[in-house]
Amino acid sequence: MTALYPWIMWFFATSFFAYQFIMRVFLGLCVPEIMQKFQVNATDFGLMASLYYYGYAGMQIPIAFLLDRFGPRSIISLSCFTCTLSIFLFYWTDNWYLALLARFLIGAASAAGFLGASKVISLWFPYRLYARMVGLSFSLGLLGAVYGGRPVSHLITLYGWENVLLIIGTVGLILTGLLCLTIKPYKVSFLHEGPVFLKNLKSLFSMPALLLMAGANLLMVGPLEGFADVWGVPYLMQAYTLQKEDAAFVTSAIFTGMLLGGPLLAYFAEKFNASYQITALCGLLMAALFSIMLLAQGHLNDTLLYVMMFIVGILCCYQVLVFAIGTAYVSEGMRGVTVAFLNCINMLGGSFFHTTIGVLMDHFWTGATANGQRLYEAHAYDYALWTIPLAAGIGGFVFMLLSPSRYKTNKSAG
């Protein structure tokens, strides 16, 4: 039982990581229903979607610090409980501003998902298993996004989105209790690490190449955080006339592809010593695939769309290479804060894309309404979603310009 216990702790910590993925993609499954309930337009909805990422990104560095100070039991349990209460608030309220607050809090609490699972691994598993266990955690966490697509969409069709939300919140309460019961307490640390942590964070802003890399990374997250998380399902329903469950199935292919993409891209990057080139290629290929989908204007069949989105999912794992480049770029003592910083900027990409897409959809809205609610035609989605391939192409081009020789020079200097 002693040998099994670390696995039990890891399982429930990773379960929260998967759970927050369900809430991350849930909004995209009920876009018209939520817009109808709160009587808002696409710009307002884009704001709501973006608040998850503001919360998630803003809490990356604080959560990493709190996990070091107080351990995973208290931080993960509290985060899961906060996420659950926020879900109930979203279910209960008819007030738009309380709904925005709930979405923000769900994102902020979700920041402990992957970071918490990683902390459990670092505390209770041998170091030689760390990379393998983190990869396994990421894969299992993505199952939350996969099964949060078509299966949850089917439940919404059967029982309504608010009832499904209530069920998800109840599951969160149960998970909170299991986290409290299974994860061992951690001796609180009162070491004076704060000033060092902040000093390392400040020093990152004196590295132009690292900042450029973070910016390019932000531009390339559109296929995942802009399309798969929220706007993919309503776009495919409108432009490709798919049923909600089928549209959710196609967009979930991105998450399915990511199950394979991390190890695959890491293998090729290591084999050919070409992390920069492969990352750039990922950005350019994602731009090409999305351009084909948008230019086809509804004339691609379901199978081809699924295959294309599966490939996009593999390419989305370029983020694994970005983290590897970033941590190699700095000294060993700064790797933790560098990962937190890059992931923070990465998640801000979701806010950028949701806000931009929402504003553009309202700009290209033709004025059609039904029951007092705006109706967005396929062309509004087409124009707005061009943000994704254009940004991905620019991001890929930036990585082409980032010279490996420059990287090596800065690494030795750090």
CATH number for the domain harbouring residue 393: 1.20.1250.20
Picking from 182, 211, 231, the residue at the C-terminal end of a domain is 182
Q: What number is the average pLDDT over the span 76-81?
A: 96
Which string of DSSP letters, residue by residue, matches 298-357? T-S-HHHHHHHHHHHHHHHTHHHHHHHHHHHHS-GGGHHHHHHHHHHHHHHHHHHHHHHH
Residue 388 has pLDDT above 90, yes or no: yes
Residue 147 lies in a domain: yes
Residue 209 has pLDDT above 80, yes or no: yes
- Domain range spanning residue 247? 199-414
Q: Indicate whether 153 and 210 sit together in one domain.
A: no
Residue 187 lies in a domain: no
Residue 194 lies in a domain: no
The C-alpha atoms of residue 408 and residue 414 are separated, in whole angstroms, by 10
Q: Indicate whether 176 and 260 sit together in one domain.
A: no
Type of residue numbered 190? F
Q: Indicate whether 144 and 261 sit together in one domain.
A: no
Q: Indicate whether 273 and 403 sit together in one domain.
A: yes
Q: Indicate whether 331 and 232 sit together in one domain.
A: yes
Residue of 103, 104, 105, 141 whose CA lies nearest to 121: 141
What's the mean pLDDT when you consider all of the chain? 88
Angle made by CA atoms 24, 136, 324, in degrees to the nearest 5: 85
Which string of DSSP letters, residue by residue, matches 357-394? HHHHHHHT--S-EETTEE---HHHHHHHHTHHHHHHHH
Q: What number is the average pLDDT over the span 402-413?
A: 50
pLDDT digits 0-9 by tens, 251-281: 999 999 998 888 888 888 888 888 899 999 9
pLDDT digits 0-9 by tens, 309-368: 999 999 999 988 888 788 777 776 677 678 778 888 988 999 999 999 999 999 999 888
**How many residues can be counted in the chain?**
414
Confidence class of residue 414 from pLDDT cuts 50, 70 and 90?
Answer: very low
Q: Indicate whether 344 and 304 sit together in one domain.
A: yes
Q: Indicate whether 220 and 164 sit together in one domain.
A: no
Contact (CB, 8 A) for 318 and 282? yes
If one compares 66 and 162, the residue with the highest pLDDT of the two is 162
Q: What percent of the chain has pLDDT over 70?
A: 93
- 162: its two tokens: 């608010």
Q: Indicate whether 288 and 224 sit together in one domain.
A: yes
Residue 128 has pLDDT above 90, yes or no: no
The three-state secondary structure class of 94 is coil
Residue 233 has pLDDT above 80, yes or no: yes
Q: Indicate whether 145 and 18 sit together in one domain.
A: yes
Number of domains in the chain: 2
Residue 248 lies in a domain: yes
Residue 189 lies in a domain: no
Contact (CB, 8 A) for 175 and 15? yes
pLDDT digits 0-9 by tens, 272-323: 888 899 999 999 999 999 999 999 989 999 999 999 999 999 999 998 888 8
Contact (CB, 8 A) for 396 and 220? yes
Q: Indicate whether 30 and 169 sit together in one domain.
A: yes
pTM: 0.83
Secondary structure string (H, E, C) spanning 240-305: CCCCHHHHHHHHHHHHHHHHHHHHHHHHHHHHHCCHHHHHHHHHHHHHHHHHHHHHHCCCCCHHHH
Q: Indicate whether 47 and 146 sit together in one domain.
A: yes
